Structure 1
Amino acid sequence: MSQIPFSVSARTAQLIGQQNFSTAEGAVIELVKNCYDADAKNAIILFDNLDQDPLNRALFIFDNGDGMTERIILDHWMMIGTDNKEDDFETGSGRIKTGAKGIGRFALDRLGVTSEMFTLPKNEDNGYYWKVNWNDFKRKGISISEVTATLEILPEFDYKKKVFELSDNFPQIQTFFSEKNIDLTKGTVIKISGLKEQWTNEEISSLFESLEILIPPREQPIFNISLFSKQSPNEYGELSGVYYDDFDYKLSAEYLDNETKSVVISIERNELDIKKIEKEYMDVFSMPQMRNSPFDFESFKKQKVEYSIRLNELVKGQTDVDKSDLLNKIGKFGFAFYFLKNTKSDDKSESNTQKYPYKEFNSATRKAWLKKFGGVKIFRDDFRVRPYGEYGQDWLKLGERQAQSPQGAGQRIGAYRIRPNQISGTINISRITNISFQDKSGREGIQENEVFDLFKSLILGIISQFEKDRNIIMYSFSELSKKRNAEDEAKRKAAEEAKRVLDDQRRVEQQDQNASRSNSPNVSTPTETEVTLAKGIQAQVEEIEEKDNEIRLLRSLSGTGLIVASFAHELRSIRTLLVSRTDDLKDVLHKHLVAKEIIKLPLEENPFSMLNHMREQDVQIKHWLDYSLSALKKDKRTRSNLDIAEYFKSFKENWDNALKRRKVSFFILNKLKRQIQIKAFAIDFDTLFNNLLINSLDSFKRRKDNHIRQVTVSFEVDSPFLKIFFSDTGAGLSKDYIQKPEDIFLPFETSKVDKRGNKIGTGLGMYLAKSIVEDYKGEIEILETTDGFKLGIYLPIEKNK
C-alpha cells in the first residue's frame, strides 16, 4: 500500500488573496499590520500614481522594524499558513502580534502584479532582495511548489540609502524622514507594481480615514502611520489619531479577570460648568439623590468618580441561567468611551433661566469629529477589528435600545438611554486573554458565539453605568427648575380660583332663579372675563384628568401584556387544539353512528370522552377570557371607594384556577379591625398586584428544589398607613441585586435574561408597581430578597379617602 502526498494548485494562492482581502483597502491595512508585528515605530505608505496607466503606477510601504533574515524569508515568508506568529506571538518590545493565519503576504497579490522587497534585519550588515510575479500563479496545470520567487543577498546593504533612492522623485517624503528624525538603520520596504486598482483621490482619502482609526487613541502612540500621494503631495501626511479632549463625559472601564471578577470604572464629568453651579445652582445638592457621594458637591468639584463593580452586576440575572459558566470565559478587556452632545438644545425655563448649567461647546466641530470617529470600535492587540463601529454600523444596537426608551436624561430616573450618534468608544481585547473571540474566516469581524453575545451585554452594562450617573444629575437639575418655577403650585392655585369663581357664578344664577337674593348671603358676581377664564382652566384640569385615565389604561394594558406573555405557552397549546377539535369530532361521529357500538370504543375514539376533554378546555378558555376582559372593565377605570378586604377576596378568586394548576397556595391574612376603604382606581391595584404575582410565579420556576409554593398577602392598619405585605416562597431576587435591590424599580430593569445576557423580560413590572404606589402618595419597601421575596406597601389612609 503506497502513501501518496497531496498537491495544491498554484491557483489556490490567488483564491486565498481574493477571498481574504475583499477590498484593496483591507489588503493595505494587512501589510501595515505586518509593519507593526515587525516592531516598527513607523509605517509610511507612498502612492507613486502620477502615470495615467495603473500598470505603470506603484505603491511603496516603508517601515523601520526588525527586518527579515534569510531564514525567516525561507521558513516563514515563503510558507503559506505558517504558524510562527501563533507560537511566537510576542515581539521583542512586548507587542502582541496581530497576524496568526500566515496568509498576510497574499495581500500583495490583491494589490498588484509584481512585488519586490528590500529588507535589512537588525544587527546584520547583509540585506535581502525578494521578488515575485503573481501572474506566475495563473499558469494552468502547475502546483504551487512549481512557482518560484527571486531571492538575492545584498552585501553591506545601506537601508537608508535604498529608501531615499526609491523615493528620490518625491522630496516631500524625504523631508518628512529628515524632520521626524526617523531611524532607518533597519527595516523593510515593499514595492508593488502594476497596481490592480485605480487609487483615485477618493479611494486614497477613504484609506487615510480608515488608517486614522486603525490603532486606539493615545496621547503618545507607540506606532505611527503616514500616507503620501504624488498626485496630491500636500493633502495627506502623518495620521493624527483620535485623541480628543472636548467631551461631556468620559468613561474608562478595565476588567483584569482576577479573583474578585470586578470591573474598575472611572467616570470623568465635563458637561456642566462648576463655576455656574457654585453661583446659581447650589440648592440642587439638597435633593435626596444629590446629598451623598458620588453626587454631592465635593464629588462634583473633583469631576472624577472611581469605583469597582462585579461583572455579574452588569448583567443582572445572567448567573441564574448560565449553565455553561460563560462569565469565566470572558478574559481581560478595557473599554473607554466619550459622550458628546452634538446639538445645543433650548433648555430655558419659564423664568428664562437655564435648566442645566452646560459648558459652551462648538456644535459643528463635534458633529464633524463624531462623523469621523463615532461609534464603538474593537481593537485586538492594538489593531482595529473591522467592521465594528464604522459609520452607521451600530453593532451594539444602541439605536434600537434608545428607541424603546426615548426619554431625555432630565426625565424620570432609570429611563435614559444614550443615542448611537453621541458616542465614540474603543474596546481593547487580546487574542491571548480572549481566546473565545476568534476571527471570522473572511477576517472581517469576530465569530458570533455565546461568549461574544454575553460580552456585548457586558459592554451595554458598562454604558448603563454612565447613563445612570448622567440621569441622576440631569434629573436633579430638571426637578430644581420645576421647583423654582413653581409650576405645580401655580396650577393648583389657578384650579382653586377657577372653582371658586364658578361656584360663585352658580350661586348667583340660583339666587336669580329663586328670586330670593335678599334672604341669602350676599355673593359677589364674577365678571364675564373671570367666568371665561375659570371655565378654560376647569376644562384644562378635566383634560389632564382624562389623560391620567388614559395612562392608567395603558398601565393596565401593559400588565395584561405581561400576563399573556407569562402564560403564552399554555394559550398556544389551547389554540392549537381548538383548530382541529371540531373536525376530529365530525370524522369520528360519521364513522360510529350506532350508539351501542360507542361503548365498545377505546377512550381516544369515544366521542363522549372527547367532549368531556373539550369541555375542560372550554372552562380554561372561559377563565382566561373572563380574567383578561375583567382588567379592562369600565368601572375599574373609575375612582371609587375600594374595600381592601373585598378587593383581595375577589383578586384571589380570579387567580384561583391558574394557581391551582401550578400548585401554588394563595393565603390572605386580614388583620384589619374595621372595614377600610381607599379612594382608588381598581385598575391600578390590578396592575400592581398582577405584576407582583407574575414575578412570584416566575420565581417559583427558578427555584429548582422541592419546595412549598406559597404566596401570602396580609394587610393591617398602622395609623396613618394601610400596610400591605406581599411575600412568596420562591427563589427571591437574583443575587446580582444583593448590593442594590432597589434597582428593580427602575424602568426596563430586569433579571429575566438568557444565558447570553439578552433581556427576555420587559423590565416594566416593578417600575409600574412603584409608580402606582407613588401616585397614591405611598411608599414601597423591599423587606426580603434571599429567603423568598417580601415587600411592604404603605398607603396613607387619610390622603386616599
Structure 2
Amino acid sequence: MSELIQNGIFAIRPAGRHIITIGANLIKDKYAAVVELVKNAYDADAKEVTVAFFGEESEGKGITVEVRDTGDGMSFDKVVNQWMVPSTDDKVRHPVSPMGRTRQGSKGVGRYAASILGKELILETITPEGELTTLYLIWEDFVRAQYLQDVGILIESTTTDRPKGTSLRLTGDALWTDKEIASLQFELRKLVAPSIDDDEQESEIEREFTIKLEFDESWPGVYSGLKKDIEPFPIIKFYDYRIWGHVDSAGRATLHYHNNRVGDTTVTDLNFEIRLPEDPRYDLSYCGPIDVDFRVYDREPQAIQNLIERGLSDPESGEPIGKRMATNLLNEYHGIGVYRNGFRIRPLGDPGFDWLSLDKRRVQNPSLRIGSNQVIGFTRIASEAESGLQEKSARDGIKEDAAYFGLIEISRQVLNVLENKRFDYRLKSGLGRTQRDIDGKVDSLFRLEDLKRKVEKTLLAGGVDSKTQQKIIALIDTQQESNAKTADAIKRIVATYQGQATIGKIVHIVLHEGRKPISYFKNAAKFISTSATQLAQRFDQEQLEEVVERAKGFELQSNIISGLFSRLDPLAARRGDKKVEFKLAKAVSNALAVFESELANSSITYTVECDDTLNFYGWAVDFQAALTNLVDNSIYWLNTVDEPRTISIKVAKTDDLLRLEYRDNGPGIPEEYIKSQVIFEPEFTTKTESGSGLGLAIAGEAVARNGGKLIAEYPDQDRGVFFVMQFVLK
C-alpha cells in the first residue's frame, strides 16, 4: 500500500536564461537579429528605419548599435503587457496593422534577438499622443538569475514633444569588421523583394518602407561618417532571361517571359496548368497563390561583357564595373529567395543554400539546367493560414511538409519553362552546341573527299605528272575505305549504347511487373517446404490440398514472367551488321506490348492502322527502339491530363514513301519547339526532374539509321503530339 508523501498545484517557472535561449540561441546570427528588429519596425507602420553604428565611447565599453524607426511606438501598457511577455499572440490576433500591412512576426520572440547585438539595452518608444516609455535591461542578469521572475527591469513613462517612433540602443558588442558590415548591407539589400509587375519590365524595390544605414564620425575606417539608403543590387535589372508572374492556389500559371539577349522588349505571355506529380518520397500539395520572378544570367565571358554594356555599374559611384567585379557580384548575389509580406525568409535565397537543388539538377544535364549561381529569383508566398507554408520558430526556413515540397515543385516547373526557352535560343544563335545526327557527324569526321579535291588541285598546279597523281589519289581512296569501316564500327558502338539507354527506360517495367510473381515464388516455396516437413510427420488431407493449390500458382506466375520477357525480347536483340526484311505491324505490336501493363494502369487506349503484309527492309530493333521512346514519353505526359487518354499509330506506304504517323492527346509540345525541332537535341527535356533529354534524341537517331527521318509536326487535333517517321523507299 502506497503512502502519500506530498502534493500540491505548481506553476512552471522558466529559468532566467530562458530569454537568452528564445532570443540569441534561436536566431541564426547578428545579421538575422538586425533583420528581426527591422521587421518589427515594418509591423509598427514605420515609413523609415535606420540602423546606426556608434564607435566606443570609452575603452572596454564596446560599440553601440541602434535600430530606430518612425512607427507608431508603444504605450507603457503595451510595453509591460506585450513587449515584456514572451510568445505573446498580439500579432496573431491582429495580423494587419492600422496602415494595412500584414504583420511579419507571429511567434512573439523576435525582439529578444537584440541580445545578440549588445550587453545592455535601452528601449525608448513614443506613441503618436506623446507618451514616452523607457526600458533598461542588462542581458547578463538573465543568465545569472535562477528564475525569470527574479530579474527586475526598470520601466518608466513620461510625456514628450518628440516625434513618434521606437529606438533600441544596444551597447557592449565588439567592433564590427568591414567584412561583417558588408555582409549586413548584403542582407539588408536582399531583405525586400522587388515588385512583380506584369507591365513593368524593370521593377524597382517598393518605396513605402525605406531602410537606412548610418555610422557616426567616431566609427573607425572607411565607414566613418557614412550615411546611406539601402538600395537594391542593380544587377537584377540586367538579366539575360526572365520569367515572372502569378500561380494561383490551384496551380494555374499566368506568366511572362523575356529574352534580354536578343536586344528587344518583346514579352511572351504564357498560360498553363502546373500539376503536382505523385512522389514516393513525400506528399505534395499546392501552397496557396504565389508570385514568381526568376532572372537568369549566362556566365561565359561574352555574356558578362554584355551585362556591363547594358548598364551594370557601381551603385555608389555610378561608374561601370569590370568583368571580374561583375562575375564576383554574381558569385555573391544569387539564389531564389522566398518572401512573405515583402520580407525574405532566411536562409532561402542565401548563396550556398540551394533549396531547389539546382546544382544537383545541373550536374545531370549541364546544357539545359540552370545552376544556383546563374539565377536571382524572388518568390512571394501568402500568409501561413492561406498557403500552409509555416516558418520554423528558429527563423531558419520553412517547415518541410507537403506545402513546402509543393512550392519546390511549382518553382522548378516555372524555371523549367525558362530553361527550355533558353536552350532553344542558345542553340539557334550558336551559343549552344548541337549534338544531333551523330551518324552524320561520324561520317564527316572520316570523310576525305574535301582533302582529295585539294590534293588533286595542288598536284595539278605543281606540275606533278599524271601517273604520280593517280598513285597519290589511290592512297587517299584506300585510306577512305579504311575510314569508312572505322566509321561504321563507331556507329555500331553508338547504336549499342543508345539501345542500352532504351532498355534502361523499361527496367522499371521489369521491376514492377516481376516483383509480384517473384514475391509469390518466395512465399509459396517457404510454405510448401514447411508443409512438406509437417506432412512427412503426420498426414493431413486439408494441408495437402493447400500445398497443391499453391503449386498451381507457380504455373500462373511463371506464365506472367514468361510473357513479360517475351514482350521485352525484341528490344533485347542485338543490332547486327546486316539489314533484314521485317513486318512493320509486328514491330509496332512489339513496341506497344512492352508497355501493356502501364498503358492499362494509366487508362490509355491505343489504335494501330497498319497492313499486316507491309514489310520494311532495315533494322527492326532500331524501329522498335524509336517507337518505344515515343510511347514512353506519351505515358508520362498523358498521366498529366484527364481521361480519355489515347495513342494512335497509322502506317501508310506509297510507291516511294513509307510514312508512320504517331499521335496522342496529351498536353502536346509548344509550337516554338516544333518549329525549331529542338526536342530532338540530346539533354533537352520539358520534364522537371525525371527527364534525361535522351528519349527523342535516341528515337531520331534510330530512325535515321534506317534511312528515315523523325519529325515533330503541328498537331491536327485540339491537343497532343504529332510525330512522323518518314522513309524514302529505294
Alignment partner, residue 343 of structure 1:
301
CA–CA distance in structure 1, aligned partners of residues 300 and 53 of structure 2:
36
Alignment partner, residue 501 of structure 2:
558
Letter of the 1:603 counterpart: E
Correspondent of 1:648 among 582, 587, 608: 587
Alignment partner, residue 49 of structure 2:
42
Q: Are the equivalent residues in 2 in contact too, given 1:340–1:423 (CA < 8 A)?
A: no
Letter of the 1:454 counterpart: G
Alignment partner, residue 215 of structure 1:
192
Deviations, residues 10-55 of structure 1 (Å, cap 9, x unaligned): 43333212442243332222112222323141312314347664x6
Letter of the 2:391 counterpart: D
Alignment partner, residue 293 of structure 1:
none
Shift of residue 740 of structure 1?
Answer: 9.0
CA–CA distance in structure 2, aligned partners of residues 771 and 433 of structure 1:
52
Q: Quick one: structure 1 residues 786 and 456, their matched pair in 2 at CA, closer, same or farther if it must change by over 3 Å? A: same
Q: Are the equivalent residues in 1 in contact too, given 2:585–2:610 (CA < 8 A)?
A: no
Deviations, residues 252-276 of structure 1 (Å, cap 9, x unaligned): 512174999442314151x35x5xx
Q: Are the equivalent residues in 2 in contact too, given 1:113–1:194 (CA < 8 A)?
A: yes
CA–CA distance in structure 2, aligned partners of residues 565 and 446 of structure 1:
34
Q: Quick one: structure 1 residues 241 and 359, their matched pair in 2 at CA, closer, same or farther if it must change by over 3 Å? A: closer
Shift of residue 214 of structure 1?
Answer: 2.1
Alignment partner, residue 605 of structure 1:
547
Matched, 1:367 2:327: yes
Alignment partner, residue 429 of structure 2:
477
Q: Quick one: structure 1 residues 9 and 364, their matched pair in 2 at CA, closer, same or farther if it must change by over 3 Å? A: same
Task: Describe how 1:96-107 pairs up with structure 2 within 5 A.
Answer: 96-107=102-113
CA–CA distance in structure 2, aligned partners of residues 499 and 343 of structure 1:
39
Alignment partner, residue 267 of structure 1:
258
Alignment partner, residue 796 of structure 1:
727
Alignment partner, residue 690 of structure 1:
628
Q: Quick one: structure 1 residues 760 and 119, their matched pair in 2 at CA, closer, same or farther if it must change by over 3 Å? A: same
User: What SS class does the counterpart of residue 106 from structure 2 fall into?
Assistant: coil
Matched, 1:66 2:24: no
Shift of residue 116 of structure 1?
Answer: 0.8
User: What SS class does the counterpart of residue 68 from structure 2 fall into?
Assistant: strand
Shift of residue 94 of structure 1?
Answer: 4.2
Correspondent of 2:220 among 232, 254, 258: 232
CA–CA distance in structure 1, aligned partners of residues 153 and 488 of structure 2:
85
Q: Are the equivalent residues in 2 in contact too, given 1:118–1:128 (CA < 8 A)?
A: yes
Deviations, residues 444-466 of structure 1 (Å, cap 9, x unaligned): 11122222222222222222333
CA–CA distance in structure 2, aligned partners of residues 345 and 434 of structure 1:
40
Task: Describe how 1:383-394 pairs up with structure 2 within 5 A.
Answer: 383-394=343-354
Q: Are the equivalent residues in 2 in contact too, given 1:784–1:790 (CA < 8 A)?
A: no
CA–CA distance in structure 2, aligned partners of residues 690 and 586 of structure 1:
42
Matched, 1:571 2:514: yes
Alignment partner, residue 410 of structure 2:
458
Q: Are the equivalent residues in 1 in contact too, given 2:276–2:285 (CA < 8 A)?
A: no
CA–CA distance in structure 1, aligned partners of residues 43 and 248 of structure 2:
26
Q: Are the equivalent residues in 1 in contact too, given 2:652–2:658 (CA < 8 A)?
A: yes
Alignment partner, residue 441 of structure 1:
393
Task: Describe how 1:596-745 pairs up with structure 2 within 5 A.
Answer: 601-606=543-548, 609-625=549-565, 628=568, 630-634=570-574, 636-645=575-584, 647-648=586-587, 651=590, 669-671=609-611, 676-678=615-617, 680-694=618-632, 714-725=650-661, 733-734=665-666
TM-score for both structures, normalised by structure 1: 0.71
Alignment partner, residue 380 of structure 2:
428
Q: Are the equivalent residues in 1 in contact too, given 2:570–2:621 (CA < 8 A)?
A: no
Q: Are the equivalent residues in 2 in contact too, given 1:374–1:421 (CA < 8 A)?
A: yes
Shift of residue 406 of structure 1?
Answer: 2.0
Deviations, residues 214-240 of structure 1 (Å, cap 9, x unaligned): 223536743123153755342374344
Greater relative contact order (Cα 8 A, min sep 6): structure 1 or 2? 1
Q: Quick one: structure 1 residues 17 and 438, their matched pair in 2 at CA, closer, same or farther if it must change by over 3 Å? A: same
Deviations, residues 68-107 of structure 1 (Å, cap 9, x unaligned): 3334323432232223323433445543332222212211
Alignment partner, residue 309 of structure 1:
271
Alignment partner, residue 318 of structure 2:
none
Q: Are the equivalent residues in 2 in contact too, given 1:62–1:188 (CA < 8 A)?
A: yes
Alignment partner, residue 292 of structure 2:
334
CA–CA distance in structure 1, aligned partners of residues 118 and 22 of structure 2:
15
User: What SS class does the counterpart of residue 387 from structure 2 fall into?
Assistant: coil
Correspondent of 2:369 among 417, 423, 426: 417
Task: Describe how 1:3-14 pairs up with structure 2 within 5 A.
Answer: 6-11=11-16, 12-14=18-20
Deviations, residues 89-132 of structure 1 (Å, cap 9, x unaligned): 3445543332222212211234333211123333x344222112
Shift of residue 623 of structure 1?
Answer: 4.6
Shift of residue 697 of structure 1?
Answer: 6.8
Alignment partner, residue 174 of structure 1:
none
Correspondent of 2:169 among 186, 191, 204: 191
User: What SS class does the counterpart of residue 20 from structure 1 fall into?
Assistant: coil
Alignment partner, residue 120 of structure 2:
114
Letter of the 1:437 counterpart: L
Count of paired positions = 674
Q: Are the equivalent residues in 2 in contact too, given 1:648–1:668 (CA < 8 A)?
A: no
Q: Quick one: structure 1 residues 22 and 9, their matched pair in 2 at CA, closer, same or farther if it must change by over 3 Å? A: same
Q: Are the equivalent residues in 2 in contact too, given 1:744–1:767 (CA < 8 A)?
A: no
- C-alpha RMSD over aligned residues: 4.8
Gapped regions of structure 2 (runs ≥ 5): 1-6, 195-203, 313-321, 435-439, 456-465
Q: Are the equivalent residues in 1 in contact too, given 2:53–2:219 (CA < 8 A)?
A: no
Correspondent of 1:241 among 232, 241, 245: 232
Gapped regions of structure 1 (runs ≥ 5): 159-184, 275-301, 348-357, 408-415, 503-522, 753-757
CA–CA distance in structure 2, aligned partners of residues 68 and 796 of structure 1:
81
CA–CA distance in structure 2, aligned partners of residues 110 and 494 of structure 1:
72
Q: Quick one: structure 1 residues 700 and 105, their matched pair in 2 at CA, closer, same or farther if it must change by over 3 Å? A: closer
CA–CA distance in structure 1, aligned partners of residues 73 and 147 of structure 2:
32
Alignment partner, residue 198 of structure 2:
none
CA–CA distance in structure 2, aligned partners of residues 225 and 375 of structure 1:
24
Q: Are the equivalent residues in 1 in contact too, given 2:63–2:171 (CA < 8 A)?
A: yes
Q: Quick one: structure 1 residues 394 and 529, their matched pair in 2 at CA, closer, same or farther if it must change by over 3 Å? A: farther
TM-score for both structures, normalised by structure 2: 0.77
Shift of residue 390 of structure 1?
Answer: 1.4
Q: Quick one: structure 1 residues 599 and 247, their matched pair in 2 at CA, closer, same or farther if it must change by over 3 Å? A: same
